[in-house]
Structure 1
Amino acid sequence: AFDRIMTAGGYISVKTGAAPEANSLPVPKKDADLAFDYAACIGCGACVAACPNASASLFTAAKIAHLSLMPQGHPERKQRVKAMTEQMATEGFGDCSNHGECEAVCPKGISIDAIARMRREYLRAYF
Protein backbone atom coordinates (compact mmCIF):
# COMPACT_ATOMS: atom_id res chain seq x y z
CA ALA A 1 0.00 0.00 0.00
CA PHE A 2 2.89 2.39 0.76
CA ASP A 3 4.18 1.98 -2.78
CA ARG A 4 0.81 3.06 -4.21
CA ILE A 5 0.79 6.14 -1.97
CA MET A 6 4.28 7.01 -3.24
CA THR A 7 3.27 6.40 -6.86
CA ALA A 8 0.35 8.81 -6.39
CA GLY A 9 2.67 11.78 -5.87
CA GLY A 10 5.98 11.06 -4.18
CA TYR A 11 8.16 12.36 -6.99
CA ILE A 12 9.41 15.54 -8.61
CA SER A 13 9.35 16.35 -12.31
CA VAL A 14 11.95 19.12 -12.25
CA LYS A 15 15.22 18.26 -13.93
CA THR A 16 17.81 18.99 -11.27
CA GLY A 17 20.83 18.34 -13.45
CA ALA A 18 24.17 17.29 -12.06
CA ALA A 19 25.41 18.17 -8.59
CA PRO A 20 26.86 21.57 -9.58
CA GLU A 21 23.48 22.73 -10.95
CA ALA A 22 21.55 21.31 -8.01
CA ASN A 23 23.86 23.11 -5.61
CA SER A 24 23.05 26.44 -7.27
CA LEU A 25 19.47 26.37 -5.91
CA PRO A 26 19.49 28.29 -2.63
CA VAL A 27 17.67 26.44 0.14
CA PRO A 28 17.60 27.87 3.65
CA LYS A 29 19.53 25.61 6.03
CA LYS A 30 16.52 25.25 8.33
CA ASP A 31 14.38 23.96 5.42
CA ALA A 32 17.14 21.69 4.12
CA ASP A 33 17.70 20.15 7.56
CA LEU A 34 13.99 19.59 8.09
CA ALA A 35 13.54 18.10 4.61
CA PHE A 36 16.46 15.76 5.30
CA ASP A 37 14.86 14.66 8.58
CA TYR A 38 11.55 13.89 6.86
CA ALA A 39 13.29 12.13 3.97
CA ALA A 40 14.78 9.68 6.47
CA CYS A 41 11.49 7.73 6.55
CA ILE A 42 12.22 4.14 5.53
CA GLY A 43 8.60 3.07 5.08
CA CYS A 44 8.85 0.34 7.70
CA GLY A 45 5.20 0.64 8.78
CA ALA A 46 5.92 0.83 12.51
CA CYS A 47 3.84 4.01 12.65
CA VAL A 48 0.79 2.27 11.22
CA ALA A 49 1.20 -0.73 13.52
CA ALA A 50 1.43 1.49 16.61
CA CYS A 51 -1.45 3.79 15.72
CA PRO A 52 -4.81 2.97 17.33
CA ASN A 53 -6.44 4.20 14.09
CA ALA A 54 -4.05 2.30 11.79
CA SER A 55 -3.19 5.64 10.19
CA ALA A 56 -0.43 6.01 7.62
CA SER A 57 -0.38 9.76 8.18
CA LEU A 58 3.19 9.92 9.49
CA PHE A 59 4.55 8.01 6.48
CA THR A 60 2.53 10.05 3.98
CA ALA A 61 3.26 13.32 5.75
CA ALA A 62 7.01 12.66 5.81
CA LYS A 63 7.01 12.13 2.03
CA ILE A 64 4.85 15.18 1.35
CA ALA A 65 6.78 17.40 3.78
CA HIS A 66 10.26 16.60 2.53
CA LEU A 67 9.30 17.34 -1.07
CA SER A 68 7.29 20.47 -0.26
CA LEU A 69 10.21 22.02 1.61
CA MET A 70 12.54 21.87 -1.40
CA PRO A 71 12.17 24.21 -4.40
CA GLN A 72 12.31 21.23 -6.76
CA GLY A 73 9.11 19.89 -5.20
CA HIS A 74 7.04 23.03 -5.66
CA PRO A 75 5.61 22.42 -9.17
CA GLU A 76 3.58 19.40 -8.03
CA ARG A 77 2.99 20.66 -4.51
CA LYS A 78 -0.81 20.97 -4.64
CA GLN A 79 -1.41 17.92 -6.79
CA ARG A 80 0.95 15.83 -4.63
CA VAL A 81 -0.85 16.39 -1.33
CA LYS A 82 -4.24 15.82 -2.91
CA ALA A 83 -3.22 12.61 -4.65
CA MET A 84 -1.23 11.09 -1.80
CA THR A 85 -3.84 11.76 0.89
CA GLU A 86 -6.57 10.48 -1.42
CA GLN A 87 -4.58 7.30 -2.08
CA MET A 88 -3.98 6.87 1.65
CA ALA A 89 -7.76 6.94 2.20
CA THR A 90 -8.35 4.60 -0.75
CA GLU A 91 -5.95 2.09 0.81
CA GLY A 92 -8.17 2.03 3.91
CA PHE A 93 -5.82 3.65 6.41
CA GLY A 94 -7.44 5.47 9.32
CA ASP A 95 -7.12 9.17 10.00
CA CYS A 96 -4.73 10.68 12.52
CA SER A 97 -6.15 11.75 15.87
CA ASN A 98 -2.81 12.90 17.33
CA HIS A 99 -2.18 10.08 19.79
CA GLY A 100 1.55 10.35 18.97
CA GLU A 101 2.16 6.60 19.10
CA CYS A 102 3.64 6.76 15.60
CA GLU A 103 6.28 9.27 16.65
CA ALA A 104 7.16 7.19 19.72
CA VAL A 105 7.95 4.06 17.67
CA CYS A 106 9.46 5.64 14.55
CA PRO A 107 13.00 4.26 14.21
CA LYS A 108 14.03 7.45 12.39
CA GLY A 109 12.52 9.80 14.97
CA ILE A 110 10.16 11.55 12.57
CA SER A 111 8.03 14.06 14.44
CA ILE A 112 4.26 14.30 14.16
CA ASP A 113 4.94 17.91 13.18
CA ALA A 114 5.11 16.41 9.69
CA ILE A 115 1.39 15.62 9.92
CA ALA A 116 0.60 19.23 10.81
CA ARG A 117 2.69 20.34 7.82
CA MET A 118 0.79 17.89 5.57
CA ARG A 119 -2.52 19.27 6.78
CA ARG A 120 -1.40 22.83 6.06
CA GLU A 121 -0.32 21.75 2.57
CA TYR A 122 -3.71 20.08 2.11
CA LEU A 123 -5.59 23.25 3.08
CA ARG A 124 -3.42 25.35 0.74
CA ALA A 125 -4.13 22.94 -2.10
CA TYR A 126 -7.87 23.31 -1.78
CA PHE A 127 -8.26 26.95 -0.72
Structure 2
Amino acid sequence: MRLTLRVWRQAGPEDNGRYVEYHVPDAEPEMSLLELLDSLNGRLLDDGVEPVAFDSDCREGICGSCGVTVDGRPHGPAENTPSCHQRLDTYSDGDTLRIEPMRTAVFPVIRDLVVDRSALDGIVEAGAHVSLPAGTAPDADATALGHDDAETALDLAACIGCGACVAACPNGSANLFVGAKLGHLALMPVASRERGSRAREMVRAADQEFGSCSLYGECSRVCPAGIPLRAIGMVNRERLRAVFRRS
Protein backbone atom coordinates (compact mmCIF):
# COMPACT_ATOMS: atom_id res chain seq x y z
CA MET A 1 0.00 0.00 0.00
CA ARG A 2 1.44 3.35 -1.09
CA LEU A 3 0.87 6.28 1.24
CA THR A 4 1.87 9.91 1.05
CA LEU A 5 2.77 11.55 4.34
CA ARG A 6 2.72 15.30 4.91
CA VAL A 7 4.76 15.52 8.10
CA TRP A 8 5.36 18.61 10.19
CA ARG A 9 9.10 19.32 10.47
CA GLN A 10 10.34 21.89 12.97
CA ALA A 11 13.99 22.10 13.98
CA GLY A 12 13.27 23.69 17.35
CA PRO A 13 10.92 25.84 19.42
CA GLU A 14 12.03 29.03 17.64
CA ASP A 15 11.77 27.60 14.12
CA ASN A 16 8.67 28.40 12.04
CA GLY A 17 8.27 24.81 10.88
CA ARG A 18 6.74 23.48 7.67
CA TYR A 19 5.11 20.41 6.14
CA VAL A 20 7.39 18.07 4.20
CA GLU A 21 5.97 15.43 1.88
CA TYR A 22 7.27 11.87 1.96
CA HIS A 23 6.24 8.70 0.14
CA VAL A 24 6.05 5.28 1.77
CA PRO A 25 5.54 2.63 -0.94
CA ASP A 26 5.29 -0.47 1.26
CA ALA A 27 2.91 0.35 4.12
CA GLU A 28 0.85 -2.55 5.46
CA PRO A 29 -2.73 -2.31 6.82
CA GLU A 30 -1.73 -4.00 10.09
CA MET A 31 1.02 -1.47 10.78
CA SER A 32 0.49 1.06 13.54
CA LEU A 33 0.95 4.77 13.02
CA LEU A 34 4.24 4.65 14.92
CA GLU A 35 5.45 1.71 12.85
CA LEU A 36 4.69 3.79 9.78
CA LEU A 37 6.90 6.55 11.17
CA ASP A 38 9.58 3.96 11.98
CA SER A 39 9.48 2.80 8.38
CA LEU A 40 9.74 6.37 7.12
CA ASN A 41 12.65 7.12 9.44
CA GLY A 42 14.50 4.02 8.26
CA ARG A 43 14.30 5.31 4.70
CA LEU A 44 15.34 8.81 5.73
CA LEU A 45 18.40 7.47 7.57
CA ASP A 46 19.37 5.38 4.54
CA ASP A 47 19.19 8.56 2.44
CA GLY A 48 21.25 10.54 4.97
CA VAL A 49 18.27 12.70 6.00
CA GLU A 50 17.47 13.68 9.59
CA PRO A 51 14.68 11.37 10.85
CA VAL A 52 11.36 12.67 12.11
CA ALA A 53 11.40 13.20 15.89
CA PHE A 54 8.40 11.79 17.77
CA ASP A 55 7.76 10.52 21.29
CA SER A 56 7.43 6.81 21.95
CA ASP A 57 7.85 4.54 24.95
CA CYS A 58 5.81 1.47 25.85
CA ARG A 59 3.75 1.19 22.63
CA GLU A 60 1.14 -0.63 24.69
CA GLY A 61 -1.26 2.28 25.07
CA ILE A 62 -0.53 3.03 28.72
CA CYS A 63 2.35 5.55 28.83
CA GLY A 64 0.69 8.51 27.08
CA SER A 65 3.84 9.70 25.32
CA CYS A 66 3.02 8.79 21.71
CA GLY A 67 0.34 11.37 20.91
CA VAL A 68 0.40 13.07 17.52
CA THR A 69 -2.33 14.59 15.36
CA VAL A 70 -3.47 12.86 12.17
CA ASP A 71 -5.58 14.78 9.68
CA GLY A 72 -6.54 17.23 12.42
CA ARG A 73 -7.55 14.61 14.98
CA PRO A 74 -5.45 13.85 18.08
CA HIS A 75 -4.03 10.32 17.99
CA GLY A 76 -5.74 9.38 14.71
CA PRO A 77 -9.06 8.39 13.12
CA ALA A 78 -10.10 5.65 15.57
CA GLU A 79 -11.90 6.90 18.67
CA ASN A 80 -10.45 6.26 22.14
CA THR A 81 -7.26 4.78 20.69
CA PRO A 82 -3.67 5.96 21.31
CA SER A 83 -1.39 6.73 18.39
CA CYS A 84 0.63 3.56 18.95
CA HIS A 85 -2.52 1.44 18.42
CA GLN A 86 -3.91 3.35 15.44
CA ARG A 87 -3.78 0.93 12.49
CA LEU A 88 -3.53 1.74 8.81
CA ASP A 89 -6.40 -0.54 7.80
CA THR A 90 -8.71 2.47 7.51
CA TYR A 91 -6.60 3.87 4.66
CA SER A 92 -6.43 2.86 1.00
CA ASP A 93 -3.66 2.74 -1.55
CA GLY A 94 -2.70 6.26 -2.60
CA ASP A 95 -4.12 8.05 0.46
CA THR A 96 -2.41 11.06 2.00
CA LEU A 97 -1.98 11.47 5.77
CA ARG A 98 -1.22 14.80 7.43
CA ILE A 99 0.78 14.14 10.58
CA GLU A 100 1.58 16.98 12.96
CA PRO A 101 2.13 17.58 16.69
CA MET A 102 -0.74 18.10 19.10
CA ARG A 103 -1.93 21.60 18.30
CA THR A 104 -2.58 23.67 21.40
CA ALA A 105 -0.77 26.77 22.63
CA VAL A 106 -0.05 25.26 26.03
CA PHE A 107 1.94 22.39 24.41
CA PRO A 108 4.82 24.19 22.64
CA VAL A 109 6.63 22.20 19.95
CA ILE A 110 10.10 21.05 20.96
CA ARG A 111 10.98 19.42 17.64
CA ASP A 112 8.96 17.96 14.76
CA LEU A 113 6.15 15.95 16.42
CA VAL A 114 7.47 16.28 19.98
CA VAL A 115 5.66 18.72 22.28
CA ASP A 116 6.22 19.92 25.84
CA ARG A 117 3.34 18.67 28.01
CA SER A 118 4.82 19.81 31.30
CA ALA A 119 1.77 22.04 31.91
CA LEU A 120 -0.12 18.84 32.76
CA ASP A 121 2.64 17.91 35.20
CA GLY A 122 2.16 21.29 36.83
CA ILE A 123 -1.45 20.46 37.60
CA VAL A 124 -0.46 17.18 39.24
CA GLU A 125 2.32 18.86 41.21
CA ALA A 126 -0.17 21.45 42.46
CA GLY A 127 -2.12 18.61 44.07
CA ALA A 128 0.79 18.31 46.53
CA HIS A 129 1.03 15.34 48.86
CA VAL A 130 -1.15 12.62 50.32
CA SER A 131 -0.92 12.05 54.09
CA LEU A 132 -0.27 8.47 55.06
CA PRO A 133 -0.28 7.15 58.63
CA ALA A 134 3.11 5.96 59.82
CA GLY A 135 3.58 2.47 61.17
CA THR A 136 3.31 -1.05 59.87
CA ALA A 137 1.36 -1.82 56.73
CA PRO A 138 -2.37 -2.16 57.46
CA ASP A 139 -4.39 -5.19 56.46
CA ALA A 140 -5.84 -5.06 52.97
CA ASP A 141 -9.38 -4.79 54.32
CA ALA A 142 -8.62 -2.36 57.14
CA THR A 143 -10.02 0.64 55.23
CA ALA A 144 -13.47 0.06 53.84
CA LEU A 145 -14.26 1.16 50.29
CA GLY A 146 -17.44 0.25 48.48
CA HIS A 147 -17.26 -1.72 45.24
CA ASP A 148 -18.90 0.98 43.13
CA ASP A 149 -16.58 3.68 44.45
CA ALA A 150 -13.55 1.45 43.89
CA GLU A 151 -14.57 0.73 40.30
CA THR A 152 -15.23 4.40 39.57
CA ALA A 153 -11.89 5.41 41.08
CA LEU A 154 -10.08 2.82 38.96
CA ASP A 155 -11.85 4.00 35.81
CA LEU A 156 -10.83 7.60 36.44
CA ALA A 157 -7.28 6.67 37.47
CA ALA A 158 -6.82 5.08 34.02
CA CYS A 159 -6.03 8.54 32.59
CA ILE A 160 -2.56 8.35 31.00
CA GLY A 161 -2.00 12.11 30.71
CA CYS A 162 -1.43 12.10 26.95
CA GLY A 163 -2.99 15.54 26.47
CA ALA A 164 -5.30 14.51 23.63
CA CYS A 165 -8.28 16.00 25.47
CA VAL A 166 -6.56 19.40 25.52
CA ALA A 167 -5.61 19.23 21.84
CA ALA A 168 -9.16 18.23 20.85
CA CYS A 169 -10.86 21.02 22.82
CA PRO A 170 -11.44 24.28 20.89
CA ASN A 171 -10.66 26.17 24.12
CA GLY A 172 -7.65 24.05 25.07
CA SER A 173 -9.34 22.91 28.27
CA ALA A 174 -7.79 20.28 30.56
CA ASN A 175 -10.99 19.68 32.53
CA LEU A 176 -11.26 16.02 31.56
CA PHE A 177 -7.72 15.44 32.84
CA VAL A 178 -8.25 17.49 36.02
CA GLY A 179 -11.61 15.87 36.72
CA ALA A 180 -10.13 12.39 36.36
CA LYS A 181 -7.36 13.19 38.83
CA LEU A 182 -9.59 14.94 41.36
CA GLY A 183 -12.35 12.38 41.04
CA HIS A 184 -10.35 9.25 41.66
CA LEU A 185 -8.41 10.74 44.59
CA ALA A 186 -11.61 12.07 46.19
CA LEU A 187 -13.03 8.54 46.27
CA MET A 188 -10.02 7.03 48.04
CA PRO A 189 -10.35 7.18 51.86
CA VAL A 190 -6.69 8.02 52.56
CA ALA A 191 -6.20 10.46 49.68
CA SER A 192 -9.40 12.29 50.60
CA ARG A 193 -7.71 13.87 53.65
CA GLU A 194 -6.31 16.67 51.43
CA ARG A 195 -9.40 16.73 49.23
CA GLY A 196 -10.25 20.41 49.68
CA SER A 197 -6.75 21.86 49.41
CA ARG A 198 -5.97 19.59 46.47
CA ALA A 199 -9.04 20.77 44.58
CA ARG A 200 -8.25 24.44 45.18
CA GLU A 201 -4.64 24.16 44.05
CA MET A 202 -5.17 21.88 41.04
CA VAL A 203 -8.07 23.93 39.70
CA ARG A 204 -6.05 27.11 40.21
CA ALA A 205 -3.12 25.63 38.28
CA ALA A 206 -5.42 24.53 35.46
CA ASP A 207 -7.08 27.95 35.23
CA GLN A 208 -3.68 29.61 34.88
CA GLU A 209 -2.58 27.53 31.88
CA PHE A 210 -5.65 26.07 30.19
CA GLY A 211 -8.96 27.32 28.83
CA SER A 212 -12.45 26.67 30.14
CA CYS A 213 -14.61 23.73 29.08
CA SER A 214 -16.12 24.32 25.62
CA LEU A 215 -18.98 21.81 26.13
CA TYR A 216 -18.14 20.16 22.79
CA GLY A 217 -17.43 16.76 24.33
CA GLU A 218 -14.72 15.99 21.78
CA CYS A 219 -12.27 15.29 24.62
CA SER A 220 -13.97 12.04 25.64
CA ARG A 221 -14.01 10.76 22.04
CA VAL A 222 -10.24 11.04 21.63
CA CYS A 223 -9.28 9.93 25.16
CA PRO A 224 -7.39 6.60 24.87
CA ALA A 225 -8.42 5.64 28.41
CA GLY A 226 -12.11 6.28 27.72
CA ILE A 227 -12.47 8.74 30.59
CA PRO A 228 -16.21 9.60 30.64
CA LEU A 229 -17.54 13.12 30.23
CA ARG A 230 -18.92 13.04 33.76
CA ALA A 231 -15.34 13.54 34.94
CA ILE A 232 -15.61 17.16 33.78
CA GLY A 233 -18.46 17.70 36.24
CA MET A 234 -16.16 16.61 39.04
CA VAL A 235 -14.02 19.71 38.52
CA ASN A 236 -16.84 22.07 39.50
CA ARG A 237 -18.09 19.68 42.18
CA GLU A 238 -14.70 19.55 43.88
CA ARG A 239 -14.19 23.29 43.37
CA LEU A 240 -17.48 24.14 45.09
CA ARG A 241 -16.92 21.60 47.86
CA ALA A 242 -13.54 23.19 48.59
CA VAL A 243 -15.19 26.60 48.92
CA PHE A 244 -17.86 25.52 51.40
CA ARG A 245 -15.79 22.92 53.27
CA ARG A 246 -12.30 24.15 54.08
CA SER A 247 -10.59 20.78 54.32
- TM surpasses 0.5: yes
Cα gap change, 1:10 to 1:116, in 2 (>3 Å): farther
The structure in which a higher percent of residues are helix is: 1
Give the deviation of 1:23 after TM superposition: 3.2
Aligned to 2:167: 49
Aligned to 1:90: 208
Give the deviation of 1:22 after TM superposition: 4.3
From 181, 191, 208, the equivalent of 1:73 is 191
Give the deviation of 1:33 after TM superposition: 0.2
SS at match of 1:60: helix
Distance 2:128 2:232 in 1: 16
Give the deviation of 1:21 after TM superposition: 2.8
Structure with the larger RCO, 1 or 2 (CA within 8 Å, 6+ apart)? 1
Structure 1 residue runs without a partner (length 5+): none
Aligned to 2:124: 6
Distance 2:144 2:239 in 1: 25
Cα gap change, 1:6 to 1:22, in 2 (>3 Å): farther
- The percentage of counterpart residues that share the same residue type is 51
Give the deviation of 1:10 after TM superposition: 5.8
- RMSD between aligned residues: 1.6
Residue 99 of structure 1 pairs with residue 177 of structure 2? no
Q: Runs ≥4 in structure 1, deviation > 4 angstroms? A: none
Contact 1:10/1:63 (CA < 8 Å) preserved in 2?
A: no
Cα gap change, 1:99 to 1:79, in 2 (>3 Å): same
Cα gap change, 1:25 to 1:114, in 2 (>3 Å): same
Q: Which digits, 9 at most, give the CA deviation of each residue in 1:69-92, with x for residues without a partner?
A: 11112210000111001001122x
Cα gap change, 1:26 to 1:45, in 2 (>3 Å): same
Cα gap change, 1:22 to 1:13, in 2 (>3 Å): farther
Which amino acid in structure 2 is aligned with residue 73 of structure 1? A
Give the deviation of 1:124 after TM superposition: 1.0
Contact 2:203/2:235 (CA < 8 Å) preserved in 1?
A: no
TM-score w.r.t. the length of structure 1 is 0.91
TM-score w.r.t. the length of structure 2 is 0.48
Q: Which digits, 9 at most, give the CA deviation of each residue in 1:52-71, with x for residues without a partner?
A: 11001111110000000111
Cα gap change, 1:15 to 1:22, in 2 (>3 Å): farther
SS at match of 2:193: coil
Residue 118 of structure 1 pairs with residue 232 of structure 2? no
| Segment drifting more, 39-48 vs 6-15 | 6-15
Contact 1:61/1:115 (CA < 8 Å) preserved in 2?
A: yes
Residue 24 of structure 1 pairs with residue 123 of structure 2? no
SS at match of 1:74: helix
Which amino acid in structure 2 is aligned with residue 43 of structure 1? G
Contact 2:169/2:214 (CA < 8 Å) preserved in 1?
A: no
Aligned to 2:226: 109
Aligned to 1:61: 179
SS at match of 1:109: coil
Structure 2 residue runs without a partner (length 5+): 1-118
